[in-house]
Amino acid sequence: MAGTLTTIPAVAELSPSHAKGVISGNNYLDITQASFWAQQYMPELYEAEVERYGDRSVSGFLSAMSAEIPMASDSIVWSEQGRLHLSYSGTIASTGVITIANSGTHSVRIGQTIIVSGMGITADTVCYVDAVAADNTTLTVYPYKGSNTGGLVGNMSGFSAGAVTFFVFGSEFAKGTSGMAGSVEPKVDTFDNKPIILKDRYSVSGSDTAQIGWIEVSGEAGQNGYLWYLKAEGDTRTRFNDYLEMAMIESVKGVTTQSIVDGKIGSAGDAFGTEGLFAAINARGLRADNCFTDGGVTDATAGTLKDFEVILKELDKQGAIEENMLFLNRDASLAMDDALAGISLGSAGGVAYGLFDNAPEMALNLGFTGFRRGSYDFYKTDWKYLNNKSTRNGYNNVEGCLVPAGTSSVYDQGMGKNVRRPFLHVRYRANEAENRLLKSWVVGSVGGAANSDEDAMNVHYLSERCLVTQAANNFCLFLDVNDSENQW
């Protein structure tokens, strides 16, 4: 009599869980089916979790470039210097009357000398300010050199009505005349931001905590060693720490006239949202479109350098801060490496690609970590946040950003004096009784907590913070506008 061979268990009956200690209806051996336990061989189990994504955390940018400073108010206000010298744009008429652009006003005074450049002028023209309107919206200028002889005359030949720009470089007065009329008040720009409250939560029932399933973990948030159900809590904490940084980078201010559904974060007229790094740079800083991925340049190396030199010239117009950090995604970083390599190896008489001892056991270093161009030092690094597939890599119109390395002098109300602050720093709510930099507490009756009758352990996380981006005119955001529209 021929026998039959039955394999137990059937493949479809069991579905192993990817995490040890997770209980479900189809990932354990049923003790009521004795044949399940009659197997001759048990599977070999690896206790260590395979880190197939490496260190999954994307935070670290703000910890490297900023400080964390407490605050006690619902908003933070700071002021930034205006430019020291006077420069304007407007339109000029053949009579020599300049009207300031956009119905603006000026601080130019009678007797000052200016340089005018613009439409119809073959060369920059030195002019004398002869009259200023009472509302400071127009001024009348005479050229030092006109078609008529005799010096300052009303003849503006060589000028055509149209757009001009001008700046003040000095003054001139006749003998025995009175002093300068009026004075220039410094222009101060005021900015503000407000903190937002971030929350998260992890929960596990009391029954599941009794089912101890050990797993070996390492790498993130100090989780080296063996954990059981708190492995998920560790992931939640790490994810929340990433949110604290990502929110400071990506957030935007809401429209105060907008009504919020269900009033979860405010109502019409309330301020909500906060200004993140990208939004601040886009509004008040420098923006470079297609700097590293300019499809119109056939020579990618030359195109990258040419575009970058335009940024250098723009930095000259701003604070001219000597040391700067470049945080780039992979494409931008490689494009910069190729550009620097082209200068080093491709130029006539250039040195070798990098400087190193030609040792046989040494690998060739094809990357650059820093360089000096003009009067600026740049330190280049890859930004994991822009390369991670589950963050900005999937929405990669941002190629990187330039952040000045340095500090600014600001008045601290809490300390009552001027202090040095990094251009980029985080402010969080705190006082003597409450610190909201990063709060964590346990609610329930499990895991050491005894403050609720709920048969569970609920771990709560909270932070209230905002980012202060000072002197944003010295920052630069690199965008690939060929990829997708940005949100700002």
Residue by residue, DSSP assigns 258-277 as SPPGGGSS--TT---B---H
Say if CB 159 and CB 142 are below 8 A apart.
Answer: no
Q: What mean pLDDT comes out for the span 336-344?
A: 74
pLDDT digits (tens, 9 = 90+) for 59-81: 888 887 778 888 888 888 888 87
The listed range with the strongest mean pLDDT (27-31, 131-135, 266-270) is 131-135
pLDDT given at position 137: 94
User: Which of 19-28, 156-165, 224-233 is predicted least confidently?
Assistant: 19-28
What gap in Å lies between CA 423 and CA 442, rounded to an integer?
Answer: 36
- Beta pairing partners, 204: 457
Q: What are the residue ranges of helices labelled H in 399-444?
A: none
Q: Give residue 97's pLDDT band: very low, low, confident or very high (50, 70, 90).
A: confident
pLDDT averaged over the chain? 76
Q: What mean pLDDT comes out for the span 232-253?
A: 89
What is the DSSP-derived secondary structure letter of residue 172? -
3-state secondary structure of 343: helix
pLDDT digits (tens, 9 = 90+) for 256-300: 777 666 667 766 667 788 999 999 999 999 888 877 765 433 344
pLDDT given at position 43: 55
What gap in Å lies between CA 164 and CA 166, rounded to an integer?
Answer: 7
What gap in Å lies between CA 184 and CA 314, rounded to an integer?
Answer: 26
Q: What mean pLDDT comes out for the span 205-234?
A: 63
**Does the pLDDT value for residue 12 go beyond 60?**
no
pLDDT given at position 19: 55
pLDDT given at position 113: 94
pTM, full prediction: 0.75
Q: CA 151, 156, 159 angle in degrees (round to 5)?
A: 135
What gap in Å lies between CA 465 and CA 71, rounded to an integer?
Answer: 9
Residue 228 vs residue 331, higher pLDDT = 331
Task: Return the number of other C-beta atoms located less than 10 Å from residue 408's C-beta.
Answer: 18
pLDDT given at position 143: 84
Structure tokens at 226: 């063996």
Q: Give residue 151's pLDDT band: very low, low, confident or very high (50, 70, 90).
A: very low
Residue 350 vs residue 378, higher pLDDT = 378
pLDDT given at position 215: 55
